[in-house]
A and B are shown apart, each in its own frame.
Chain A
Amino acid sequence: MLRHLRIIRVFVAASTQQELAYHANFAISLLNALLKLATGWLGLVIVFEQVDALNGWDYAAALAVLGVYLLVGALRDLVLAPSLNQLAGLEGDIWQGTFDFVLLRPANTQFLVSVRQWQIFAVFDVVMALLVIAAACAQITLTAANLLAFLLLLTGGVITIYAMMLIFSSLLFWSPGFLFTWVFDGIFQMARYPVGIYPGALGLLLTWVIPIGIITTVPAQALTGDISAEMMLATLIFAVVALAVASLLFRRATNRYASASS
């Protein structure tokens, strides 16, 4: 455990140095965070100017979903996406054969590919997301139990998005040129709004098949106290199972890897 923390620490340090090598990154990352906030928030404001509730979702609840969406997205951009993206594309480790070096390390391969690259300026996004969540909390009565449930389900949501990304990254080993991660990014856009606003079947699909509901809506519901115990349990079980499946698939993918011949 200590060793893993130390590995993460050196990865963070090295990545930060890499980012600082490019001055423009700082300004662009800040601008990017503001834009993400503005587009998400404006969308909500425009809708809730017209109506008080959307399919049972009021402004505060929708704002909570947006906050969770921004937070999970920020965590993804902070470490998961930059790390896993190194596998993909023509410059990527699989195509180039430099995945050899990852396999040669005496440490868990999945761990290494998941935490090796940090985009440190994404902490702007984290801060911004926390502000949005705080704004949502200010409009509801927050209990300690709700907060606890929220943290638990947020962890479940992060585990789920990680599992999804790992599954898409594993598929890269079968088709290294295809940008599976972009496909997932596209789908994830839909997580910005509560899955409840999507009509019946689509809502179910977005919860249990493409589990963006589990990633953002469910934790937000926990925050507003609008969730049943069964749903919480089912969500957490889903997250754990998804992670197990993803890890298994990743192991199969690496076993399949026969590095680009040199």
Chain B
Amino acid sequence: MPDSQIEVENLTKVYHVPEREAGLTASVRSFFRRTYRDVLAVKGISFSIEAGEIVGFIGANGAGKTTTLKMLTGLLQPSSGSATIAGFTPWERQPAYLRRISMVMGNKSQMLWDIPPLDTFRVLGAIYGLSSVEAARTVNELVELLQMQNLLTKPVRNMSLGERMKCELTAALIHRPEVLFLDEPTIGLDVSAQRRLRQFIVDYNRQSGVTVMLTSHYMADVMELCNRVILIQQGKLIYDGDLAALSQQLAPFKLVRLTLNIDDPVRALRACLPPDAEILAGMNGDITLRLDRTKTAHIIAHLLNSLPVDDLSIENPPIEAVIDQIYQGEEVL
């Protein structure tokens, strides 16, 4: 396929929401005369994704992730812009398109609650027009991969969240989609269930070549699964690239760990550091400094010249800290 699997161009969504103020009088007033406010949820984002990629789609709550996924799965009409996925325009919702995609939502279930998962799979097989042989083969493969043989005859109602999530994945993949949208699939899962689920996504992607777009608030998901992340902030795309480079590019500071061979290292450092440099408490004479990224080289040269440094290392801040800063809307660019 010469073109990308997912091609998004200037995608924009404006919600037209009724405005309500607090209080009874305001409620009565708005009952007779509604006022509306436009909320710009997604502001002209563009990106493209190749077949077989696993891309992390991250951003703070309310940044526009779910809105974007909903447009790409055809659940929402965009206000403007275009998207082509596997050759289709999602919001036309052509059956041929819907057959090629699937979506797993961590907070919504598509299973029938009172009966065992096998019966839900049977219903889905019929809806997607799969032959029973075909459906059974796919289910067997997935069951093997997810190690959920013991769950097949257990009513979904009685399952733990981790068990149910395995069923949700099988249900979502029964028609062998080309593109898989995962909206916070690990939400609420315990650490080992999260790890197994991530491993499954990696294995399944390798086996089937499915393109995956994933949102998650757990950086571990993103770090383990995605070579590439797309970061949106208040509806705007602010970063598209690999995760390691993200912290390099977006973190405004570096962490410098050093060991000094003097008695009162903190005071000595204060004396020769610029006032905006932060000294973080260290242990056993190890000290961590937080330095402005652009000035780091200069400051270190100065330190090495003026103080007895035993050991020194320069690190990027942990990804979580960088993301946190971005989510909080601090100026990082």
Contacts and interface: CB of A to CB of B under 8 A. Distances in A.
A96 to B, nearest CB: 7
B127 A106 contact: yes
Contacts, number: 81
A225 interface: no
A104 B112 contact: no
B13 to A, nearest CB: 10
A10 B123 contact: yes
Interface in A196-251: none
A97 B108 contact: yes
Contacts of B129: 3, 106
B93 A13 contact: no
A262 B126 contact: no
Nearest to B108: A98
A94 to B, nearest CB: 13
Interface stretch (B1-9, B99-107, B275-283): B99-107
A31 interface: no
Contacts of B293: none
B114 interface: yes
Given A98-B110, A106-B98, A106-B99, A6 B73 contact: no
Interface residues of A, number: 28
A58 B112 CA distance: 48
A242 B122 CA distance: 34
B112 A14 contact: yes
B75 A107 contact: no
Contact of A262 (B66, B95, B97): B66
A58 to B, nearest CB: 47
State which size class the interface on B falls in. Answer: 35 or more
B128 interface: yes
A255 B75 CA distance: 9
A261 B66 contact: yes
A104 B119 contact: no
A98 B119 CA distance: 19
A10 B115 contact: no
B112 A262 contact: no
B122 A262 contact: no
A21 B127 contact: no
Given A14-B120, A259-B70, A103 B75 contact: yes
Interface in A131-156: none
Contacts of A14: 112, 115, 119-120, 122-123
Contacts of B95: 106-107
11 contacts: A10-B122, A10-B125, A13-B122, A98-B108, A100-B108, A104-B101, A106-B97, A106-B99, A107-B95, A259-B70, A262-B105
Interface of B: 15, 66-67, 70, 73-77, 93, 95-99, 101-103, 105, 107-110, 112, 114-115, 119-120, 122-123, 125-129, 155, 183-184
Interface of A: 3, 6-7, 9-11, 13-14, 17-18, 21, 96-98, 100-101, 103-107, 112, 255, 257-259, 261-262
Nearest 4 interchain pairs by C-beta: A106-B95, A106-B98, A10-B126, A18-B114
